[in-house]
């Protein structure tokens, strides 16, 4: 199994801090072999969620915790891992959740 990949970070302290918090929660809960976190908030400027100060993020998580689970179950695991961030940091989240075997196909 390869070493975990680093999250993609935006410049500026708040987006970087949010990405770091998302990355930490996902690493602790899912022990991913690959993790990418992208802050897409700038593309949603003017959106109601952006006005609240929360962000739009895209994650790609590769973890053996997803083996045998449906897409819905995988997304639930990701959302559970990030539950504490929905009030403060997250407005929208796009999820790609794969196993290592699915990634190498």
Task: Render pLDDT for 28-84 as a digit per residue (tens, 0 to 9).
Answer: 999 999 999 998 886 666 666 555 657 889 999 999 999 999 999 999 999 999 999
pTM exceeds 0.85, yes or no: no
In this structure, what token pair is assigned to residue 47? Answer: 């959106």
pLDDT, residue 71, reads 97
For residue 20, give its domain range: 13-104
CATH of the domain at 67: 3.30.300.90
Domain membership of residue 8 (yes or no) is: no
Domain count, the chain: 1
5 within some domain: no
Q: Domain for residue 41, yes or no? A: yes
Tell me whether residue 4 is in a domain.
no
Does 6 fall in a domain?
Answer: no
92 occurs within a structural domain: yes
Query: Token digits for 18?
Result: 């949010």
Asked if residue 99 is part of any domain, the answer here is yes
Pairing, β 55-62 against β 90-98? parallel
Question: What pLDDT, on the 0 to 100 scale, is given for residue 51?
Answer: 56
Output helix, strand, coil percentages for the chain, rounded to the nearest 5: 45, 20, 30
Closest listed residue to residue 65, CA positions, set 57, 76, 75, 74 = 74
Q: How far apart are the C-alpha atoms of 70 and 48, rounded to whole Å?
A: 31
- Give one word for 53, left, alpha or beta, with left for phi > 0 and alpha for psi -120 to 50: left
Tokens encoding 57: 């993020």
Alpha-carbon span 81 to 84, nearest angstrom: 8
Does a structural domain hold residue 33?
A: yes
């Amino acid at each position: 199994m390869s070493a975990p990949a680093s999250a993609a970070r935006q410049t500026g302290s708040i987006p970087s801090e949010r990405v770091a918090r998302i990355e930490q929660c996902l690493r602790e809960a899912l022990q991913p072999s690959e993790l990418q976190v992208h802050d897409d908030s700038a593309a949603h400027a003017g959106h109601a969620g952006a006005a609240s100060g929360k962000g739009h993020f895209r994650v790609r998580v590769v973890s053996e915790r997803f083996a045998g689970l449906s897409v819905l179950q995988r997304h639930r695991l990701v959302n559970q891992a990030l539950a504490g961030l929905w009030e403060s940091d997250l407005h929208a989240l796009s999820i790609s959740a794969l196993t290592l075997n699915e990634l190498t196909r």
